Amino acid sequence: MKRSRIWFLVLGVSASFLFGVVAGGFLPDHDFQLSDHEPVFSYGYAAPSLYESANKTADTIERTGARSAIVAHHLLVADKMAQVFASLGTGAEKTVVILSPNHFSAGKSALQTTTGSWTTPEGNVEVDDEAVEKLLGRVSGLHDEPETFKTEHGVSAITPFVKHWFPNAKLVPLVIHDKATEEEVVALASAIEDVVPHAIVIASIDMSHYLPMHIQEYHDAVTLRAIAEGSADFNLEIDANDVLQTLFDVNRLRGDQEWVMTHHGSSLAMGATDDWRENTSHILGYFLDGEPADNPFVSLQFVGDVMLDRDVREKINALGVEYPWENVTRYLQGSTLRIANLEGTVSEKPSVATHEPPFTFTFAPEFVEAMQPFIDVVSLANNHTDDYGDEGEQETRDRLVTDIGIEWFGGSNRSDDVYRYDACNESGCDFGISLIGYHQFGFQMRDLTPIIEQEAQEGRFVIVMPHWGEEYVTEPQVGQREMAQAMIDAGADLIVGAHPHVVQEIEVIDNVPVVYSLGNFIFDQDFDETTRGMTLGVILDQKSATLYLSPISTLAGQPTPLSDEEAAQLFLDRNISTNPLTIFYDEPSS
């Protein structure tokens, strides 16, 4: 597959700067050895001493024979990367496949490769031209686009480790954009296994990005569960979902699905930064011959009150429909279901909202459509769902499902509209979840408990979202505790409350977590405690539920994560001493 072109390729400024800072210095020059026919790419501008020091930390590690792994490309953890490489294979392998994200959305294709070679401090790593040509012939969506590899540090940053730990191996570089289809990913994984069945396959992935640790830990916990299970049917909060899925598919074909984690950390945890906006988490490890973990799970993320009228409407009209969601794009990625309390109706009626009662809220359909990438299900069990009467409530339901694609449950004066989710795979359904809404001021408790009992009797995990309590009071009231006890006695497994517009505490009653109020998520209230809210992440399986509380600021109708220091103070103010909190069950509704 010879070419008459010649490429002189270096990393772009941003990647060069990153590598230089991590390495503690820049190398102004590289000794490029250009071939007459093939492009030669640079491994980057990190000092060779960075790789040398990292590799020395792994000198005593024994090979495991593992044929696939996950490593970072963030050279902040270069020593951990070296230690994974030292664990792999026998060292005599002839081919190493690198699966990298497409960080800069370069090129035209979702799947890209190239021929040529990479410079490294220990000599060039040549591309396995024959394997690349066969892959190009097997996978219709894969294209030869060498330009992309100029700046793709997901490949270049780890080529020195390939050269050091597999000195006789050639490289198969693959860049996979998250716009790749499921069919393309499956085809690529199948072709890799057919063309280079004995290759070492490396997924180059950095995990959670640009978030404080209180929410990063939830996302990483979800990602770790998915890695151990060897599958994910939703997008994780990582920089390369299709890269990970390709690795999962290769591992499944090979029977290499037993996960061994070697490192889990983050920039914040290492003290490499004190700004959560620069935080990156790392999960590294390898896969052995064996079965994946058999512990199916569901991840849920609950947010508080969402109101898209009044001052929020003015912000959206001025700054665009995406304005409320700009600071939580990654924050709300990585859950099976994301659930909110929608405080109003959906219609094309003009706003009549005021700052004095009576409060009447309606949201333009395009405002709610902008919510759809971030929220999957909403509770309508609140005192604003019927701001335009029964007709307005029905229009809201119809628009949500039919026009926008957001599911709903509950209502202003009924709770029997239950949202049910079943955790299923090819072998069947493991367990079911039921979401029940309860509006304290429009529905009697005696009418709610039979609905809870029915769902519990069917063996489902029952989550009740009550709209209850007194507004702007930071302590739950006696009446809330009495209602919580009645719900628990009926079979509720988790209670997540709304309506006070401020954060209230969490407690456990009869082994059931009760989150009394998450406060506001998107709102225009800017007084006292209304500007701070929380979200709740839940990882649920057949034996346990683990709860992660994550505080946010809700100023000017735009939620923004609080720093870990600010979060710690809110936890202290609300007497929250355990986060995350794990509750163990014999079985749902026990």
With a cut of 60, say whether residue 17 has pLDDT above it. no
pLDDT recorded at residue 429: 78
**Radius of gyration (C-alpha) of the chain in whole angstroms:** 26
pLDDT recorded at residue 38: 85
Q: What is the mean pLDDT of residues 335-349?
A: 98
pLDDT in tens, 67-123: 999 999 999 999 999 999 999 999 999 999 999 999 999 999 999 999 999 999 999
With a cut of 70, say whether residue 60 has pLDDT above it. yes
pLDDT in tens, 179-215: 999 999 999 999 999 999 999 999 999 999 999 999 9
DSSP 8-state code for residue 359? P
With a cut of 80, say whether residue 471 has pLDDT above it. yes
With a cut of 60, say whether residue 8 has pLDDT above it. no
Q: What is the mean pLDDT of residues 579-586?
A: 92
Indicate the SS3 state at residue 571: helix
What is the pLDDT of the chain when averaged over all its residues? 92
Return d(Cα 278, Cα 283) in angstroms, integer: 17
With a cut of 60, say whether residue 281 has pLDDT above it. yes
Report the phi/psi class of residue 161: left, alpha or beta, with left for phi > 0 and alpha for psi in -120 to 50.
alpha
pLDDT recorded at residue 424: 79
pLDDT recorded at residue 9: 33
pLDDT recorded at residue 443: 84
At 298, give phi and psi (nearest 5°): -130, 140
At 70, give phi and psi (nearest 5°): -115, 125
pLDDT recorded at residue 37: 60
pLDDT recorded at residue 587: 55
List, in order of start, the domains of the chain with CATH numbers. 8-288 (3.40.830.10), 297-584 (3.60.21.10)
Q: Residue 225: CB partners within 8 Å, gap ≥ 6?
A: 293, 295, 297, 299, 539
With a cut of 80, say whether residue 466 has pLDDT above it. yes
pLDDT in tens, 217-246: 999 999 999 999 999 989 999 999 999 999
pLDDT in tens, 549-573: 999 999 999 999 999 999 999 999 9
Q: Residue 144: CB partners within 8 Å, gap ≥ 6?
A: 112, 113, 114, 115, 132, 136
Q: Is the dihedral of CA 242, 243, 248, 249 positive or negative?
A: positive
pLDDT recorded at residue 425: 72
pLDDT in tens, 497-555: 999 999 999 999 999 999 999 999 999 999 989 999 999 999 999 999 999 999 999 99
With a cut of 80, say whether residue 586 has pLDDT above it. no
Count helices and strands (H / E) in the chain. 16, 29
